[in-house]
């Protein structure tokens, strides 16, 4: 019998939509997956938990929109409410990660790919989630690659 591999998800929580990305089994590549549209905190949680029933999850990485100085602002405080509620309902880690400029980066990527404005609206959130999750995965890999050489010194 094969053991089901648990996955890492990335969430880019926005006012209207939450972009969702998923990491591969080796925690190397983040791929845009989908988005959910919700109206309010309770609706968001209900839709997200329903979505999560389809995936064996190891952890969720949630983007925190820090301001330009790296501080928690109004938007980050609002996302904190979502994170607190999610942590009450799941048994796996929910990790906060800096997501500054991921939506801007996603928008520029889509514009350079000549994606229409209407199509960009449909994919920008999940692409921003993938960019944020990829940043987290790269950080993990970077730390693993550097630690042995630091320990040798």
**The 17-23 sheet, strands edge to edge:** 30-37, 17-23, 7-13, 57-64, 94-98
- Exposure of 114 in the CB half-sphere (CA atoms within 13 A): 0
Question: Does the pLDDT value for residue 40 go beyond 60?
Answer: yes
Summarised one tens digit per residue, pLDDT across range 90-128 is 999 999 998 876 676 777 876 777 777 777 677 778 989
pLDDT recorded at residue 101? 65
Calpha distance 80→66 (Å, rounded): 11
Task: Residue 144: count other Cβ atoms within 10 Å of its Cβ.
Answer: 10
Which residues contact residue 17 at a Cβ distance below 8 angstroms, ignoring those fewer than 6 apart? 35, 36, 37, 38, 125
Sketch out the chain's domains with CATH numbers: 7-152 (3.30.420.140)
Q: Give the closest residue to 19 by CA, choosing from 116, 106, 147.
A: 106
pLDDT recorded at residue 6? 87
Q: Give the closest residue to 84 by CA, choosing from 94, 92, 75, 76.
A: 94
| Whether pTM exceeds 0.85 | no
Summarised one tens digit per residue, pLDDT across range 62-81 is 999 887 777 788 888 999 99
Bridge partner list, 30: 23
């Amino acid at each position: 019998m094969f053991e089901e591999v648990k996955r890492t998800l990335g969430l880019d929580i926005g006012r209207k939509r939450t972009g969702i990305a998923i990491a591969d089994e080796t925690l190397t590549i983040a791929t845009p997956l989908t988005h959910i549209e919700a109206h309010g905190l309770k609706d968001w949680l209900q839709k997200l938990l329903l979505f999560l029933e389809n995936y064996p999850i190891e952890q969720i990485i949630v983007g925190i929109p820090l301001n330009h100085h790296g501080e928690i602002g109004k938007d980050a405080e609002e996302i904190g409410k979502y994170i607190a509620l999610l942590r009450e309902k799941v048994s796996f880690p929910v990790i906060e990660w800096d997501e500054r400029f991921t939506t801007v980066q996603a928008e520029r990527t889509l514009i350079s790919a000549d994606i229409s404005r209407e199509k960009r609206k449909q994919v920008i959130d999940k692409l921003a989630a993938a960019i944020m999750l990829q940043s987290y995965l790269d950080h993990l890999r970077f730390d693993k690659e550097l630690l042995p050489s630091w320990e040798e010194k």
